[in-house]
Chains A and B, each alone.
Chain A
């Protein structure tokens, strides 16, 4: 059967389960909004310091709660052993990876949309055409985050300390991507020319290719035993 169709079937199953419970989505979204609100109160409104810190706050509020979504993504497979059921099916392990990746990416992109809207309201930023660039950044970082996150979530899914282990494994790998995302966001939120934005964007596109390929190749070994 067509691999793309199988990926769609796997992702649709995860999204259907999440739609029914909404646990991961609502918890991730609530945590993200909470971070935005806390930082909003921590800084003096109208002060230049909040404008300087805004890019960092945005990415902290997107990435840290995203770990909740990733940790939950293998919950059904862990609790009822359905990963065995998936492995027993005559499908390529890569298809399993991309099915999980797609569902995680879609849910995180949905959270990103809500967070982005709230971010502009809380931090009193003006809507402009640059908003599109910011959302593009979110999608590019989302690809890296979901691909490496899916791999590591599968890796720690059978470990008791998985909730602690996942962020410890994930964030060091993501440091270069976060640096690129924060710097590119600073340019987008500023009023000047997008001088270095394209360089950061290129770095993120390259990261997407490298991380997705790497995660895809390693996933097979992760689910082997």
Chain B
């Protein structure tokens, strides 16, 4: 490796995942560099969520490997995961949820960390409300706060725009832009082509369990992206 090359944060090689006779992912190779903001597009059933679950180590690959070259252990602590489900306890307040998970991660000052993230996510007013009573947008921001508790080096966001109204989407976009400015490494799955394109530094399109297109954001023509996407997934 030359001295100018940056070591990847995440290196995926030959990744295959089968559920019985169904192959959800087939021979996926992907390398994520520190500071990358990668948007993953693809139709339903393309294997995007399966990919993120494998990276989060919630599931084991059938073949291939997922490596965090600079991680001391398996890399589980490198990852913050925001899934379709909230991963939050509805009967605990937003604050209690964050403090509980902060304690599990062994964070030194869980109360201070929870307050800091609630402030950052603009949820301080709703601190003592039960998570079950949060609106979709508030819950989405609390989900991201939970995933960021332990300052993960890689943030995995699985369709964070799902179920959000326009106001919620705008707030979320602001938050994601903030993450990009902080040079956080993010893997974002979204069906929202415009938002994904606007936020990302690299683009990946998946279809039928495979990566069918990848490019740097700067190499993609914004006006022609939608037709490129449909050509790629339908072709």
Q: A-side interface residues toward B, CB under 8 Å? A: 1, 6, 9-10, 13, 16-17, 20-21, 76, 79-82, 84-91, 224-225
**In the complex with contacts A13-B92, A16-B92, A225-B60, A84-B87 CB distance below 8 A:** yes
**Bound complex: CA of A137 vs CA of B86, how far in Å?**
41
Sampled A-B contacts (7; CB under 8 Å): A1-B103, A13-B89, A13-B92, A16-B96, A20-B91, A21-B91, A80-B88
Contact partner of B59 among A6, A16, A225, CB < 8 A?
A: A225
Alpha-carbon distance between A89 and B103 when the two chains are bound, in angstroms: 10
User: How many residues of chain B have a CB within 8 Å of chain A?
Assistant: 27
Besides A76-B91, A82-B86, A91-B104, 16 new A-B residue pairs in contact (Cβ under 8 A), listed by A number: A1-B106, A9-B100, A9-B104, A13-B92, A16-B91, A21-B91, A80-B85, A80-B86, A80-B87, A81-B87, A84-B81, A84-B85, A85-B87, A88-B57, A90-B76, A224-B60
Query: Among the listed A80, A87, A89, A224, which residue makes an inter-chain contact with B101, where contact means beta carbons less than 8 Å apart?
Result: A89
Q: CA separation between A85 and B101, bound complex, in Å? A: 8
Contact A6 B89 (CB under 8 A): no
- Which residues does chain A contribute within 8 Å of B58, judged by CB atoms? 84, 87-88
When the two chains form their complex, are residues B105 and A90 in contact, meaning their CB atoms are under 8 A apart?
Answer: yes
Whether A76 and B90, one on each chain, are in contact in the complex, defined by CB atoms closer than 8 angstroms, is yes
| Secondary structure call for the A interface | helix
A87 to B56 CA separation, bound complex (whole angstroms): 10
Complex: how many Å from CA A82 to CA B60?
Answer: 19
List the B side residues contacting A79 at CB < 8 Å. 90
For the complex formed, measure the closest distance between the CB of B101 and the CB atoms of chain A, giving whole angstroms: 6
Is B83's CB within 8 Å of the partner chain A? yes
Q: Are A85 and B146 in contact (CB under 8 A)?
A: yes
Chain B residues in 8 Å Cβ range of A84: 56, 58, 81, 83, 85, 87
Residue B85 contacts which of A20, A81, A87 (CB distance < 8 angstroms)? A81
B59-78 Cβ-contact flags toward A at 8 Å (1 or 0) = 11000000000000000110
Q: Given A81-B85, A82-B89, A88-B81, A13 and B105 touching (CB < 8 A)?
A: no
Inter-chain contact A88/B88, CB cutoff 8 Å: no
Q: Which of B56, B89, B105, B146 contacts A76 (CB 8 A)?
A: B89
- When C-beta atoms are compared, the residue in chain A nearest to B77 turns out to be A90
Q: How far is the CB of A72 from chain B (nearest CB, A)?
A: 12
Of A10, A21, A89, A225, which one neighbours B105 at CB under 8 angstroms?
A89
Instruction: Tell me the complex Cα distance, A17–B106, Å.
Output: 22
B89 touches A81 (CB 8 A): no
B79 on interface, CB distance cutoff 8 Å: yes
In the complex, the chain B residue whose C-beta lies closest to that of A87 is B58
Shortest distance in angstroms between B131's beta carbon and chain A's nearest beta carbon?
Answer: 8
Instruction: Indicate the member of B57, B59, B106 with the most A CB atoms within 10 Å.
Output: B106
* A81 and B77 contacting across the interface, CB-CB below 8 Å: no
The answer to whether A82 touches B88 (Cβ under 8 A) is: yes
A residues less than 8 Å from B87 (CB atoms):
80-82, 84-85
B81 with A80: CB separation less than 8 A: no
Q: Which of B77-132 contact A (CB under 8 A)?
A: 77, 79, 81, 83-92, 96, 100-101, 103-106
